[in-house]
């Protein structure tokens, strides 16, 4: 006779008091919550206990596996190329995926990139691509695999069948103050990526004022935790810790970031964006076992060709004009000197207030709203010159954006030392 299922309140007490839950307990809990047999208020209490007590490595392994088992797993074995994906923990101006997926595909890999939407000051890849007329984020598994076979890259929303437990848990964490828990973040990201079926995964863990992890120590812990989960699940996994104190590139906002991505795919674009993209591309190709030079695929136009095919394959018009803002305003340099700081979080919040982001998942976003950084840290500026160009659909949102930027800029007499964009590698 099978043992009766544990009482949820007993598991809450156990975790509250620091006991490690067994594999059977974790599997029952996730399955019962996914099926609606455990109430939200009970799971909220358990999440708060995990927030304070953490999860032991064995618990975290079982927790992630149970979230994967709550839904389907994609089978990419018929794609015909080595599969490798990238996940970023989110930043300001981080449009790397738009360039990276077609770039790595142009070098011979298949890139099944399941992406998300922006929330708060960080942008979302799907929101950016939806600035392109006709482009659609929702694909069936069959459509996704066909694009991987024919084009080599796809960027789309995760289907409802992948790790449904995570979808419920994430929504609950969002409203219970338990988002900032390293084991819960790691299991959330990795359950979806493992269920996606990729053979290799590179994690871009952002560090700095505009990142989810502002401190290097916590960013490294998150990277090590996710690499451990992926490796134990049989997915070749590594992570790069990359800087996010200033916006990446010069464009922040949906259509603006598409335009800047195209500039890189055409062989130009900002040097910092190119550097981070190429570092991640080399890491992805190494994990996929492909000996190729991604810089050459950018320079000769192969990556741009794959990008155009990827956009068209998802219903978008790669030649369409992107939405333009109705209102433009500027933030000017208050003094002459070196731009020493341009705070990424402040720029991200300002772009959000202009309409480029959302406070809740169901909020609409403006395709045209955003900010162009006319100067970046390390550059010389003259008093009165435009530092930031604000774009919006209506003038009423400008005061809120200006307020967000009130302490974003620091100008000094000495040129700031340039820190590394690629801080470290975790494998």
Annotated catalytic residues are 87, 166, 173, 188, 192
The whole-angstrom distance between residue 251's C-alpha and the CA centroid of its chain comes to 16
If you write DSSP's letter for every residue of 291-330 in order, what string do you get?
---HHHHHHTSHHHHHHHHHHHHTT--TTSPPP--SEEEE
Q: How many helices (H) and strands (E) does the chain have?
A: 16, 13
- Other CB atoms closer than 10 Å to residue 388's CB: what's the count? 26
On whether the CB atoms of residues 237 and 284 are closer than 8 A, the answer is: no
Q: Are strands 409-412 and 200-207 parallel, antiparallel or unpaired?
A: unpaired
What DSSP string runs through 27-77?
HHHHHHHHTT-S-HHHHHHHHHHHHHH---HHHHHHHHHHHHHTS-----T
What would the DSSP string read from start to end of 94-125?
--HHHHHHHHHHHTT-BEEEEE---BTTB--H
Angle at Cα 138 formed by Cα 200 and Cα 70, nearest 5°? 60
d(CA 319, CA 262): 11
Task: Report d(CA 212, CA 222) in Å as an integer.
Answer: 11
């Amino acid at each position: 006779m099978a043992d009766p299922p544990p009482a949820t309140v007993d598991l809450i007490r156990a975790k509250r008091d620091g006991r490690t839950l067994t594999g059977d307990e974790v599997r029952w809990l996730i399955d019962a919550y996914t099926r609606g047999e455990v109430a939200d208020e009970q799971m909220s209490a358990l999440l708060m206990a995990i927030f304070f007590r953490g999860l032991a490595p064995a618990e975290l392994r079982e927790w992630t596996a149970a979230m994967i088992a709550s839904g389907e797993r994609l089978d990419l074995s018929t794609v015909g190329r080595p599969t490798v994906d990238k996940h970023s923990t989110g930043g300001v101006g981080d449009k790397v995926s738009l360039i990276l997926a077609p770039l790595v595909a142009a070098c011979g890999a298949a890139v099944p990139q399941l992406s998300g939407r922006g929330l708060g000051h960080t942008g979302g890849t799907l929101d950016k691509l939806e600035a392109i007329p006709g482009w659609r984020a929702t694909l069936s598994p069959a459509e996704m695999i066909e694009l991987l076979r024919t084009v080599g890259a796809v960027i789309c929303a995760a289907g409802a069948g992948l790790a449904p437990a995570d979808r419920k848990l994430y929504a609950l964490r969002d409203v219970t103050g338990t988002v900032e828990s390293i084991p819960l973040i790691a299991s959330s990201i990795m359950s979806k990526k493992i269920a996606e079926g990729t053979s290799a995964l590179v994690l871009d863990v952002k560090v700095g004022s505009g990142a989810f992890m502002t401190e290097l120590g916590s960013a490294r812990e998150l990277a090590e935790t996710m690499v451990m989960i992926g490796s134990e699940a049989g997915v070749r996994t590594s992570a790069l810790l990359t800087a996010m104190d200033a916006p990446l590139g010069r464009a922040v906002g949906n259509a603006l970031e598409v335009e800047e991505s195209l500039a890189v795919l055409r062989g130009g674009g900002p040097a910092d964006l190119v550097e981070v993209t190429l570092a991640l591309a080399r890491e992805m190709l190494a994990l996929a076992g492909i000996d190729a030079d991604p810089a050459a695929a950018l320079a000769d136009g192969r990556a741009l060709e794959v990008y155009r095919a990827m956009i068209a394959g998802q219903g978008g018009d790669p030649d369409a004009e992107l939405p333009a803002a109705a209102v433009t305003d500027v933030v000017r340099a208050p003094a002459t000197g070196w731009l020493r700081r341009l705070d990424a979080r402040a720029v991200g919040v300002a772009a959000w207030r202009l309409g480029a982001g959302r406070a809740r998942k169901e909020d609409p976003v403006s395709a045209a709203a955003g900010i162009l950084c006319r100067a970046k840290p390390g550059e010389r500026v003259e008093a009165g010159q435009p530092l930031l160009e604000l774009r919006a659909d209506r003038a009423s949102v400008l005061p809120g954006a200006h307020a967000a930027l009130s302490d974003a800029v620091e100008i000094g007499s000495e040129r700031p030392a340039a820190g590394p964009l690629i801080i470290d590698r975790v494998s």
